[in-house]
Structure 1
Amino acid sequence: MENDLAKAFWDLHPVRRGHLLIVPKQHYATFFEIPGDTLAAMNDLLDQAKTYLDRTYHPAGYNIGVNTGAAAGQTVMHAHVHLIPRYPGDVKDPRGGIRKMIPAAVRRHR
């Protein structure tokens, strides 16, 4: 999917079936650098992508995620938004959202 300012495509390393990325066509290193018109275009694609995923995969919910900066886990320095479909039973206890989606990534803090 795409429009004049953004595009959506499958994540190369999906954490769930249907995991998509929404990215601006112009380079912005982080989410906070994206101008308003481009954010609006990305949101339009987010809505279109959700409609497509609802029809195709019938998820029970979604996580929408943005990592901004290396300290937050951003490894690709081009702004992008993750749209991650969620399914019943994909994790034992979904409370905590994406923090518990990848069990190896969960750390206990005291």
Structure 2
Amino acid sequence: MIAFPGADRPLPDGELRRRREKVVREHMRAEMAGDLDACLATMPGGADYAIKATGREHHGDEQVRELLTDLLGAFPDLRLVPELVHHHAVVVAQLTGQQPAADRPDRGTM
């Protein structure tokens, strides 16, 4: 069982959930298209990414823009599949894509 921040709070009503999920889909579409301005615009309160697999956190538009620029450079065919939209500021997504052979580090898989 995964405990998400705010999981003890009641879920918002259906209309609010639909609006939030629409923003998440817009964000992911913009991210996959490489439109970082549109991507960051979906987070008007300030961008904040925490990558659990690496333990790295990126706070603010500048750090998140740098992260996304690096990510899109490493995975030009990036695809994101939302697996869970938790309505207390958590999105779990599956990232897929292939790094061009010339860009792969010689350290095995990520």
TM-score of the superposition, structure 2-length normalised?
0.34
TM-score of the superposition, structure 1-length normalised?
0.34
Who wins on radius of gyration, i.e. which is larger? 2
Q: Which has the higher helix share?
A: 2
Higher relative contact order (CA 8 A, sep 6+): 1
